[in-house]
Amino acid sequence: MSDPEFRVVTDDQGEGVTYTCGCSCTPTARPRSADEAGMEHCCCGKVHFVGANAANALAAYLGDRKQRRKNEPAYELGVTAVRLAKGPVEVAWAFPQE
């Protein structure tokens, strides 16, 4: 699988980060605050976090799910960055392995 391409979208909540998911959604995440990442978990099982320490927040989120859920898939993981108006932000993603 090639790495997803993240892009910035602007909606009524301001800037967010999305990608072409493959389902009918436009999964969009944005930083929750200057020091906290926000996330979106798409209906199709893909997750991404955007903002400060996105990779750490994603790892904690997936670790927690793994403890609580029986059928949690194996994920392909990656970290990248995109540039918002305020500057670059970290993007961490986890997509279920096909």
Residues interacting with Zn ion, by CB under 5 A?
21, 23, 25, 42-44
- The pair of three-digit structure tokens given for residue 58, joined into one six-digit string: 């994603």
Identify which of residues 25 and 56 has a Cβ nearer to Zn ion in the complex. Answer: 25
Residues 62, 74 contacting (CB under 8 angstroms): no
Cα–Cα–Cα angle for 46, 41, 96, nearest 5°?
20
Residues 80, 8 contacting (CB under 8 angstroms): no
For 57, list phi and psi in degrees, rounded to 5. -65, -40
Q: How far is the CB of 96 from Zn ion (least distance, A)?
A: 10
Identify which of residues 32 and 45 has a Cβ nearer to Zn ion in the complex. Answer: 45
Q: How far is the CB of 24 from Zn ion (least distance, A)?
A: 6
Q: How far is the CB of 89 from Zn ion (least distance, A)?
A: 21
Q: How far is the CB of 34 from Zn ion (least distance, A)?
A: 28
Identify which of residues 56 and 96 has a Cβ nearer to Zn ion in the complex. Answer: 96
Identify which of residues 9 and 23 has a Cβ nearer to Zn ion in the complex. Answer: 23
Cα–Cα–Cα angle for 87, 82, 14, nearest 5°?
70
